[in-house]
Amino acid sequence: MGDVEKALQTFYSMKLKDIMPSIPSMPIVTADSPIVDVLKLLRTRHHVWVVNNRDEMKLEGVIRYLDVLSILLPPENTKARLGNISAVFKSILGGAEKAADVMERNVMTIDEDATVLDALTRMRRYKVQILAIVDENNTLKGEISLRLLIDEFLRLMKVGGVQWLQSGSSSPSE
């Protein structure tokens, strides 16, 4: 087995709890936070997690960067179709005032004891780039993103002294 293959096997078996960022570094608001607070976070982040309160940290939803379009557009510019009526009410002009009004409630989650391979498989299956890491009580424990997984893989490759060449082979790094 080559160096890259060994690194990948190590990478796949890593536990998410060992590589997830700390809660204080994550973009989190409470369900009753004003939309303005959400927008301030989304200026520099691609998502914001919504929790019930800062003590319990029960995951309620997520607001993604692209959701800002629905928030800022007037309701008449939002196509309302059967099953998607709620998008109309996600607009500030449609009455949305707080994070709970605009969040997506169906959040892709994964357990903190899951592996990198589990996370990659789930991301691919559901076509998402970020997963909330929760415990059995749906308490937000962390997050794992495709970007974080790429960073971790590259870190692992550097630590292993392997340079991944475009041809797919590996050689010791200089």
| pLDDT, tens digit (0-9, with 9 covering 90-100), for 64-99 | 998 888 888 887 665 555 445 455 557 787 788 999
Tokens coding 90: 């996600």
In the prediction, which pLDDT does 4 show? Answer: 79
- Phi then psi for residue 77, to 5 deg, are -90, -5
User: Residue 157's closest CA among 2, 29, 34, 3?
Assistant: 3
Residue 111 in this model has a pLDDT that exceeds 50 = yes
- Displacement of CA 95 from its chain's centroid (Å): 27
Q: Of 2, 19, 47, 6, whose CA–CA distance to 116 is shortest?
A: 19
Q: How confident is the model at residue 118 (pLDDT cuts 50, 70, 90)?
A: very high
What residue ranges do the domains of the chain occupy? 3-161
Under CATH, which number does the domain 3-161 receive? 3.10.580.10
Q: What is the mean pLDDT of residues 125-145?
A: 97
pLDDT average, residue stretch 10-32: 96
Number of helices (H), then strands (E), belonging to the chain: the values are 6, 8
Which DSSP category does 84 fall into?
-
Is 90 exceeded by the pLDDT of residue 159?
no
